[in-house]
Amino acid sequence: MNPIAIRPARPGDAAGIARLDVETWQAAYAGILTVPYLVGLSAERRERGWASVIRREPRDVRVAVDGDGIIRGFGSCGACRDEAGFSGEVFTLYVAPDWQNRGIGRALLLALFARLVERGHDSAVVWVLRDNPARFFYQRLGGREVRRKTLPVGGVSVAASGYGWRDLPQFLSTAARDERQPEP
Ligand SMILES: CC(C)(COP(=O)(O)OP(=O)(O)OC[C@H]1O[C@@H](n2cnc3c(N)ncnc32)[C@H](O)[C@@H]1OP(=O)(O)O)[C@@H](O)C(=O)NCCC(=O)NCCS
């Protein structure tokens, strides 16, 4: 099995991220978002979006690549988009279905937190759809549910929870002590 490496995104990653983005949305949100919306997701459209995000600041996007250089997970972060009382935000975090539960999500989240701290953000929030079991992953990694809201996604209103970390430097130093590398 291949080792996994986490690195900042490069311009050539947009297509690989977009493909995985659509694949993971269709897997994670089946039964939560509408079928027409999920079927209509376009990797080409998302590739244009990711290319522009990467052009703006490649270090705000992290990818998990296997030994063949194939992207198996990705995440992105930046300044918090609302007044949630947190400075930074993790906007996306997705791991390919066949690669979940090997420590890749944790490694990506820690890399995004480290990037936020580097940018001067000492706290962070992540918004997750409440019907998405991924929220228990954030709880497992020390996030506390701090806010709730309704988000419009694909023509429907869905309930979302905000998970917060109030002290990222402290969280990262504790995580570094019990560090576990992604499994091959
Ligand atoms: C949520 C997600 C990012 C987690 O990534 P992952 O690589 O599977 O998670 P990891 O292997 O790093 O797990 C880290 C820890 O969280 C736990 N965990 C992972 N997913 C979990 C879940 N859904 N519920 C409870 N615990 C979970 C793991 O068991 C592990 O626990 P440990 O510390 O005891 O070893 C990934 O499953 C995913 O992409 N899901 C679908 C897309 C999605 O919903 N993304 C989030 C959008 S906001």
Residue 153: helix, strand or coil by DSSP?
strand
111/33 Cα distance (integer angstroms): 29
To test the pocket of ligand 1, the residue of 71, 98, 102, 137 to mutate (highest count of ligand atoms within 8 Å of its CB) is 137
Phi, psi torsion values for 3, nearest 5 degrees: -75, 155
Q: Determine if ligand 1 sits within 6 Å of the CB of residue 153.
A: no
Q: How many domains does the chain have?
A: 1
In a domain, 153, yes or no: yes
In a domain, 34, yes or no: yes
Q: Would strands 124-129 and 88-95 be described as parallel, antiparallel, or unpaired?
A: parallel
Residue nearest to atom 12 of ligand 1 (CA): 103
pLDDT values of the chain reduced to their tens digit, one per residue, 184 residues: 558 999 999 999 999 999 999 999 999 999 999 999 999 999 999 999 999 999 999 999 999 999 999 999 999 999 999 877 899 999 999 999 999 999 999 999 999 999 999 999 999 999 999 999 999 999 999 999 999 999 999 888 999 999 999 999 999 999 988 776 666 6
- Domain containing residue 48: 5-177
Q: pTM of this prediction?
A: 0.95
In a domain, 150, yes or no: yes
CATH number of 15's domain: 3.40.630.30
Q: Which atom of ligand 1 is nearest to the CA of 96?
A: 39
Phi, psi torsion values for 25, nearest 5 degrees: -60, -45
In a domain, 149, yes or no: yes
Q: Is 162 exposed, middle or buried (0-12, 13-18, 19+ CB in 10 A)?
A: buried
